[in-house]
């Protein structure tokens, strides 16, 4: 069998040669058959003629009973080596003369002649031929011949073999030539296919050299390559477009970041300017305020005798208002300093801190009896000084606004939510109208009149600023005369804080 991996070239060669050899063999067999058949026929005819001739020649010998003459005629068969025996029978069936080839084996002659005809036994042929003269049968000639079929066959096979070898050689040469026409385009396609697969080069094409099925195959193959090339090109284009837009996106992103950075820097600069301004303004305001308050004092002291009660009252107003303005400026300064101070965060025990601050505040006014209810609180991550300020402001507010209650209650505590810690300070004091909630945490925003509850309106703004700088939120709820709760939250993760 042809191995599967053999090239199409070899396969075709084998197929063609096998076909040729098969055809040749078939032809040779048919010819051999026909030849052997006609050879035998010819031989039989030849022997029959020989018998006729012997019969004709021997007729006088039979008629004159001359056995010696008949035997002589038979003896002339010596020249035919294939005849191994012969006999002449008389009309009554008795053997008249006989001949046996020299060196041949002993021949058993048939006792009586048979009718005209021949019979074949193995490679021996028995032939009977009547000798007829006029209408009278004079006798019969018998010939036994050896049929040399094997020699003939051998000779014949020799010829056939030689012819076949020559024909196969010729057909090999022809097939070689011819099959190239068929296999060359196929091999070419295969070569192109291999190049395409090895180099991933879909731009190569097989050249079309025939218009037959292989031509169709070449067209189809090239069409497929073109399609693949197109698809790949398309994909490459899409990819490069994608990459383009991606890089454009990155650019835009970088640009955006730059812009954000620039804006942040501008904002920080503006903020700094503003803080610098408020700092220097409040700083420079201190001297005139000190002067106003101070000279009001001097006026009172130096002109005591000249001043009436009303004048003294007005002087005291000037003094207290100057003091209040000074307080405002101090608060404003503290507020502005806060914006510039860098955060120094650490772990804060909020419960302990709030309690300490409360104790400090409470000691400032021993006459008060507040029901203080401290609750547990989660630790926080923040600037210690700033959160002391937060608790200070929230708790002093709670104390201040609950001071007019019969039994002031101040409650503090904290819980841990999902992403943040939430702390609160609750009092049962004056509360506030929730409509003004938005104003609570603004600088200098106040919801109560100065005579009711003194203050500058900076405390909660400070709380708001500190908490937001730590990444947290502040909010409050309350009702007039029922109390207020101030909440602030801090993120659980350490936050660097912003401006």
Partner 1 sequence: MEEFDQVEILLVEDNPLDAELTMRGLQNQKLANKITWVKDGEEALDYVFRRGAYADRAEPGPRLILLDLKMPRVGGIEVTRAIKGDERTKRIPIVIMTSSKEESDIIDSYNLGANSYIVKPLDFESLAEVARQAGFYWLAINRAPN
Q: How far is the CB of 394 from partner 1 (least distance, A)?
A: 25
Residue in 1, 106, 111, 287 binding partner 1, rule: CB under 8 A: 287
| Residue 312 makes contact with partner 1 by CB under 8 A | no
Give the 3-state secondary structure of residue 3. coil
Mark the segment that binds partner 1 (CB under 8 A) among 319-327, 353-361, 375-383, 403-411. 319-327
Nearer to partner 1, 259 or 340 (CB): 340
Could you say whether residue 297 binds partner 1 (CB under 8 A)? yes
Report the residue number, 172 or 334, with the smaller CB distance to partner 1.
334
CB of 389 to partner 1, least distance (A): 16
Report the alpha-carbon distance of residue 356 to residue 201 in Å, rounded. 81
How is the chain split among helix, strand and coil, in percent rounded to 5?
60, 15, 25
**476 SS3 class:** strand
Per rule CB under 8 A, is residue 343 in the interface with partner 1? no
Please tell me the number of Cα atoms within 13 Å of 45 on its side-chain side: 6
Partners of 127 in beta bridges: 118, 143
Min dist CB 293 to partner 1, Å, is 5
Note whether 330 binds partner 1 by CB under 8 A. yes
Smallest separation, CB 301 to partner 1 (Å): 8
Crossing angle (nearest 10°) for helices 384-402 and 459-469: 150
Residues 6+ apart with CB under 8 A from 112: 89, 93
Pick the binder of partner 1 from 326, 374, 375, 413 (CB under 8 A): 326
With contacts defined by CB under 8 A, name the span among 189-197, 260-268, 327-335, 380-388 that binds partner 1.
327-335
> Strands 483-491, 473-479: parallel, antiparallel or unpaired by DSSP?
antiparallel
Q: Which of 296, 425 has the CB closer to partner 1?
A: 296
Which residue, 18 or 291, is less far from partner 1 as judged by CB? 291
* Minimum distance from residue 292 beta carbon to partner 1 (Å): 9
Q: Which is nearer to partner 1, 56 or 279 (CB)?
A: 279
- Residues 6 or more apart in contact with residue 239 via CB below 8 angstroms: none
Nearer to partner 1 (CB atom), residue 332 or residue 353: 332
User: Tokens 């419960």 identify what position?
Assistant: 351
CB of 346 to partner 1, least distance (A): 21
- Stretch touching partner 1 by CB under 8 A, among 18-26, 114-122, 292-300, 428-436: 292-300
156 is an interface residue for partner 1 by CB under 8 A? no
Q: Does 290 bind partner 1 (CB under 8 A)?
A: yes
- Binding to partner 1 by residue 341, rule CB under 8 A? no
Residue 364 C-beta: closest distance to partner 1, Å = 18
Report if residue 295 touches partner 1, rule: CB under 8 A: yes
Cβ of residue 288: shortest distance to partner 1, in angstroms?
8
What are the b/e assignments for 132-148, b being 16+ CB within 10 Å?
eeeeeebbbbbbbbbbe
In the bound state with partner 1, the residue whose beta carbon lies nearer, of 114 and 325, is 325
The CB-of-343 to partner 1 minimum distance in angstroms stands at 17
Q: List all residues 6 or more positions away from 431 whose beta carbon is below 8 Å from its beta carbon.
A: 401, 478, 479, 480, 481, 482, 483, 484
Taking the C-alpha atoms of residue 135 and residue 458, their distance in angstroms, rounded to an integer, is 170
Q: How many residues bind partner 1 (CB under 8 A)?
A: 19
Which distant-in-sequence residues (6+ apart) come within 8 Å of 436 by Cβ? 447
Encoded tokens for 368: 């008060």
DSSP code for 143: E
* 115 three-state secondary structure: coil
Among 28, 138, 214, 329, binds partner 1 (CB under 8 A): 329
The C-alpha atoms of residue 50 and residue 47 are separated, in whole angstroms, by: 5
**Exactly one of 170, 226, 298, 359 binds partner 1 (CB under 8 A); which one?**
298
CA–CA separation, 86 vs 131, rounded Å? Answer: 14
Strands 371-374 and 409-416: parallel
> What is the rounded distance in angstroms from the CA atom of residue 172 to the CA atom of residue 22?
14
Q: Is 194 in the site for partner 1 (CB under 8 A)?
A: no
Nearer of residues 51 and 329 to partner 1, judged by Cβ: 329
The answer to whether 179 touches 9, Cβ cutoff 8 Å, is: yes
Cα 486 to Cα 79, 119, 137, 411: the distances in Å are 151, 141, 160, 11
Q: Which of these segments, 144-152, 280-288, 394-402, 453-461, binds partner 1 (CB under 8 A)?
A: 280-288
- Cα separation, 305 vs 312, whole angstroms: 11
Task: Please pick, from the candidates 69, 190, 323, 415, the single residue that binds partner 1 as defined by CB under 8 A.
Answer: 323
- Work out whether 322 is an interface residue with partner 1 (CB under 8 A): yes
Query: Contacting partner 1 (CB under 8 A), which of 289, 422, 430, 447?
Result: 289
- Nearest distance from residue 470's CB to partner 1, in Å? 23
Neighbours of 373 (CB within 10 A): 11
| Of 87 and 322, CB closest to partner 1 | 322
Stretch that binds partner 1, among 118-126, 265-273, 288-296, 464-472 (CB under 8 A): 288-296
Q: By CB under 8 A, is residue 286 in contact with partner 1?
A: yes
Look at residue 249 and give its three-state secondary structure.
Answer: helix
Which residues are near partner 1 by CB under 8 A?
283, 286-287, 289-291, 293-295, 297-298, 319, 322-323, 326-327, 329-330, 333
């Amino acid at each position: 069998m042809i191995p599967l991996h053999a090239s199409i070239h070899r396969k075709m060669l084998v197929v063609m040669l096998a076909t040729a050899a098969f055809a040749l063999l078939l032809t040779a067999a048919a010819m051999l058959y026909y030849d052997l058949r006609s050879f035998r026929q010819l031989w039989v005819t030849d022997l029959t003629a020989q018998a006729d001739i012997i019969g004709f020649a021997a007729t006088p010998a039979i008629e004159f009973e001359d056995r010696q003459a008949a035997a002589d005629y038979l003896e002339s068969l010596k020249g035919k080596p294939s005849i191994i025996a012969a006999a002449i029978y008389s009309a009554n069936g008795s053997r008249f003369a006989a001949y046996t080839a020299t060196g041949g084996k002993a021949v058993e002659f048939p006792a009586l002649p048979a009718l005209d005809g021949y019979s074949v036994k193995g490679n021996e042929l028995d032939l009977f031929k009547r000798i007829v003269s006029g209408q009278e049968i004079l006798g019969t000639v018998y010939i036994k011949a050896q049929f040399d079929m094997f020699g003939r066959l051998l000779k014949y096979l020799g010829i056939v073999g030689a012819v076949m070898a020559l024909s196969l050689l010729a057909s090999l040469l022809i097939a070689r030539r011819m099959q190239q026409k068929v296999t060359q385009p196929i091999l070419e396609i295969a070569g192109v296919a291999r190049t395409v697969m090895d180099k991933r080069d879909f731009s190569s094409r097989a050249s079309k050299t025939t218009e037959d099925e292989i031509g169709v195959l070449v067209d189809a193959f090239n069409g497929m390559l073109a399609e693949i090339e197109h698809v790949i090109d398309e994909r490459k284009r899409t990819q490069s477009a994608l990459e383009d837009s991606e890089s454009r996106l990155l650019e835009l992103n970088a640009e955006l970041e730059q812009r954000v950075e620039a804006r942040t820097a501008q904002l920080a600069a503006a903020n700094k300017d503003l803080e610098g301004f408020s700092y220097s303004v409040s700083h420079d305001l201190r001297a005139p305020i000190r002067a106003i308050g101070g000279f009001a004092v001097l006026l009172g002291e130096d002109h005591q005798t000249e001043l009436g009660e009303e004048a003294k009252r007005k002087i005291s107003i000037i003094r207290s208002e100057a003091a209040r303005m000074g307080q405002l400026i101090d608060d404003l300064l503290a507020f502005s300093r806060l914006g510039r101070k860098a955060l120094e965060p650490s772990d804060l025990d909020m419960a302990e801190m709030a309690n300490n601050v409360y104790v400090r505040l409470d000691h400032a006014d021993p006459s008060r009896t507040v029901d203080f209810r401290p609750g547990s609180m989660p630790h926080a991550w923040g600037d210690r000084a700033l959160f002391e300020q937060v608790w200070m402001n929230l708790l002093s507010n709670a104390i201040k606004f609950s001071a007019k209650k019969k039994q002031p209650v101040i409650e503090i505590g904290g819980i841990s939510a999902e992403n943040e810690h939430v702390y609160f300070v609750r009092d049962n004091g004056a509360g506030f109208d929730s409509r003004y909630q938005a104003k609570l945490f603004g600088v200098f925003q106040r919801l109560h009149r100065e005579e009711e509850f003194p203050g500058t309106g900076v405390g909660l703004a400070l709380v708001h600023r500190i908490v937001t700088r730590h990444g947290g939120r502040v909010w409050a709820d309350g009702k007039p005369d029922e109390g207020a709760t101030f909440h602030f939250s801090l993120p659980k993760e350490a936050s660097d804080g912003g401006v």
